[in-house]
A and B are shown apart, each in its own frame.
Chain A
Amino acid sequence: MKIPPGVSAGDFADAIKQFEDAVGKEWVFTSDEDVALYRDAYSPFWGEADELVASAAVAPDTVEQVQKVVRIANHYKIPIYPVSTGKDLGYGGSAPTYSGSVVLDLKRMNRILEVNEQNAYALVEPGVSYFDLYRYIQEKGIKLWVDVPDPGWGSPIGNSLDRGGGYLTALYRNHFDSHCGMEVVLANGELMRTGMGAMPGAQTWQQYKSGFGPWIDGMFSQSNFGVVTKMGFWLLPQPDAYLSGTVMVPKHEDLIPMIDILNWLENTNCTTGMPFLGSPLLSRGGPLSAGGPPPDAELTALLAKPIATTLNELDAYAQKKGVGFFSCTLSFYGAAEANAANWEFAKEKFSAIPGAKFVDGQSYKLPLTDEQKGNVNVPLFGIPSLRMFSIGARSEANPTPGNGHIWFAPIIPRTGEAIFEANRVFTDAAKELNLPVPSFSLPTCYWERGFIYLFGFPITHDIEANKRNRAAFDRLVQIAAQHGWGEYRTAPAHQASVMDTYSFNNHALLHFHETVKDAIDPNGILSAGRYGIWPKHLREAKG
């Protein structure tokens, strides 16, 4: 049995015994075989001595059991690492950030405490997955939608605490932003509720976010300040109808006004769904290929050269063939007539770009029929799925799959200029790092005020390849930071190096986090090292 660092074998044995008394023997996992189930399947340290692994796992079923476990851990100074559904693949899985920690597995706490149709919210425990919540709502015939991320077996609490995102309207797809009220077990075992929940008998815990006084909920996301045992989430009342439409612009420089108009349309609530950027031209078997028609000889020759040198020629080709250089797909959730009017209005605005063309997309009265569900990407309709795993799984096109991925995910400004600049920077970076040079990459539009690039680094079971990729990843983090672009979220392997780039005024922000950490978790038992925040004794040990 592995023993947590800094803990004596005797203390650990006593603590395990007490964990067993608290949660039941069968829910304390100490055998190598059981503990190995907590390995991060997508670990960039796979098979190395540095791989982040658990020493044991404890799976409580109630808040009281969580409090007991935390108190025992605090007494024996045992590092513990809470996970909700533990499916944070690409960002750490269910493995701890500080190797040798005991995983506090909250999967068994899977009660849906309330779904309120009148005020459109849910209150859930950590082990409730998106599938669970979706099924519950369907079975009860409640007309509410959950904004789901991929893959659907994650949890509203785990996903939002890592500040993940989904696909519906802006108010909902930022999952942490759409939460309302938390219950937290602190490192000393004390139970606290945030927002209106701090008032005994509160009637509006899930209806008014900030309560009274400092609003501290953000401190429990991407952090290690508490164990969250309940969270409320706002849900989207089932809209009347859905409509999508695509604008295509002919020249590469049209990307700039296209994004400006998109932003205006989003920020005035004309379009509310998540936009998707594309390139009909480059999709033609080119670098952005998503199954478009194969490129002809002329386009193949153009695409063989660095794109920065052929933009004007590509413009001419696109115009000759009548293919859009860039595109943006908008979606509208609302009354069918309002959706149609908003799309017409969006077309009018985009028509300021000479040569802009439009294609009407899907139009559905909601809810979808089962047949319609087969025609759509279901998470855009609040339906959880696992199909996104196809991006790395074996297939005809990918006969030798890897072992997952981690994401390099910088936020850049929401402008066309920034997209061109990011492409210049990442193309140069790829050359420097001896990576294949991307011709052109487009960001995703999860967040309404900033773009996010999602570059997947493959995970292999080849230690040397993983080492090279980790070094390249850290270098990309630095290069992005030199241009003022920071990661929105990252895997434990890179959390310290990313936190290091948030260094304004001699790391004042990190110093604040550390001050809080030392005050509310003086023994440093909770999720040590998560997002680069280490407790005092480990900071000192690291020098």
Chain B
Amino acid sequence: MRRAGKVLLAALGFVLLGTGPATGQDSSWTLFPSHGQESATPIIQRGKEVFQNLCSGCHGPVIKNASPGIGATMPGTDALAAKYKGAKPAMLEERTDLTPQFIKIFVRNGVSVMPRFRKTELSDADMEALSAYLTRNNKP
């Protein structure tokens, strides 16, 4: 089938998926879930804030035992779970193999439906802090 062939099928999904008041359940729900209680240096602390403000809306923890629907999803974490199938943690905050270069490539280029971030949204200094946070548990 030609690739254009996906169009209206996808459309039907869009029409429906956006709808419906119901969905999901998670007793630990917060808008920007914090993760871990590590004592942090200022740059790691700043990186954590950046992560919570810009990333955790998609890369936060998945809602457990959720009934299907948009409210039950965590798009970035779900995507990485589907990609790595358990070979790596789906939560970016649990990874120990990320490098600053790798993080920068994704943040400044985007991937799939995730757009790139401009410097007015995420300055170079905050980019560095974000990298410090996401690489904090890497083994030397």
| Docked pose: A57 CA to B106 CA in angstroms | 21
Among residues 6 to 23 in chain B, which have CB atoms less than 8 Å away from a CB atom of chain A?
Answer: 6-23
A528 to nearest B CB, angstroms?
A: 21
A41 touches B110 (CB 8 A): yes
Q: Is B3 an interface residue (CB 8 A)?
A: yes
B104 to nearest A CB, angstroms?
A: 11
Which A residue's beta carbon lies closest to that of B120? A107
B18 to nearest A CB, angstroms?
A: 7
Contacts of B24 in A (CB 8 A): 374-376
A290 touches B5 (CB 8 A): no
B27 touches A374 (CB 8 A): yes
B13 to nearest A CB, angstroms?
A: 7
A402 touches B26 (CB 8 A): no
Q: Contact check: which of B15, B112, B116 meets A455 at CB < 8 Å?
A: B15
| Docked pose: A193 CA to B36 CA in angstroms | 48
B8 touches A436 (CB 8 A): yes
Query: Given that A329-B20, A394-B82, A395-B78 are contacting pairs, would A469 and B7 also be in contact in the complex, using a CB cutoff of 8 Å?
Result: yes
Contacts of A277 in B (CB 8 A): 19
Contacts of B79 in A (CB 8 A): 393-395, 401
A456 touches B16 (CB 8 A): no
B19 touches A278 (CB 8 A): yes
Q: Is A453 an interface residue (CB 8 A)?
A: yes
B120 touches A105 (CB 8 A): yes
Q: Contact check: which of A33, A150, A404 meets B113 at CB < 8 Å?
A: A404
B15 touches A441 (CB 8 A): yes
Contact with A along B73-93 (1 / 0, CB 8 A): 111101111110000000000
Query: Given that A401-B79, A404-B113, A454-B18 are contacting pairs, would A438 and B70 also be in contact in the complex, using a CB cutoff of 8 Å?
Result: no
Q: Is B99 an interface residue (CB 8 A)?
A: no
**How many interface residues does chain A have, given as a range?**
35 or more
Among residues 443 to 467 in chain A, which have CB atoms less than 8 Å away from a CB atom of chain B?
Answer: 443-444, 453-458, 460, 462, 465
Q: Is A200 an interface residue (CB 8 A)?
A: no
| Docked pose: A131 CA to B53 CA in angstroms | 9
A465 to nearest B CB, angstroms?
A: 4
A150 touches B15 (CB 8 A): no
Contacts of B10 in A (CB 8 A): 392, 405, 456-458
Contacts of A276 in B (CB 8 A): 19-21
Q: Is A425 an interface residue (CB 8 A)?
A: no
Q: Is B38 an interface residue (CB 8 A)?
A: no
Contacts of A57 in B (CB 8 A): 118
A-B contact pairs, 18 of them (CB 8 A): A37-B119, A38-B118, A127-B120, A283-B16, A287-B12, A288-B15, A329-B21, A371-B25, A374-B26, A374-B63, A374-B66, A375-B71, A391-B18, A393-B79, A404-B115, A434-B5, A443-B15, A455-B15
Q: Which residues of A contact B (CB under 8 A)?
A: 27, 29, 33-34, 36-39, 41-42, 57, 59, 85-87, 89, 93-94, 105, 107-108, 127, 131, 134, 150-153, 244, 276-278, 283, 287-291, 329, 331, 361-362, 370-371, 373-378, 380, 383-396, 398-399, 401-405, 407-408, 426, 430, 433-438, 441-444, 453-458, 460, 462, 465, 468-469, 472
Given contact pairs A377-B22, A380-B21, A392-B113, enumerate 7 new A-B contacts (beta carbons under 8 Å): A41-B110, A375-B22, A390-B73, A435-B8, A455-B15, A472-B4, A472-B7
Q: Which residues of B contact A (CB under 8 A)?
A: 1-31, 53-54, 57-58, 63, 66, 68-71, 73-76, 78-83, 108, 110, 112-121
